[in-house]
């Protein structure tokens, strides 16, 4: 049982896995709140009082 604990908490793979879990959690929270907090380019421009011209945004 002690050997299993040593393997599970080995920094060789535990640190990258822990970082991936943290990053996945942050991304999941971002996706869950995306509609509420993230704006399109048109919304940002309208907030500043600039008229959004879709034709000029196309490159």
Span 10-59, pLDDT tens digits: 888 888 999 999 999 999 999 999 888 887 777 777 777 777 666 555 55
Rounded Cα–Cα distance for residues 9 and 21 (Å)? 15
Taking residues 2-9, report their average pLDDT: 78
User: Quick one: pLDDT at residue 55?
Assistant: 58
pLDDT of residue 49: 72
Q: What is the DSSP letter of 9?
A: T
**d(C-alpha 1, C-alpha 52), whole Å:** 63
């Amino acid at each position: 049982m002690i050997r299993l604990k040593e393997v599970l908490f080995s920094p060789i793979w535990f640190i990258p896995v822990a970082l991936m879990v943290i990053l996945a959690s942050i991304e999941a929270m971002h996706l869950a709140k995306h509609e509420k907090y993230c704006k399109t380019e048109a919304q940002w421009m309208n907030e500043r009082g600039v008229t959004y011209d879709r034709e000029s945004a196309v490159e």
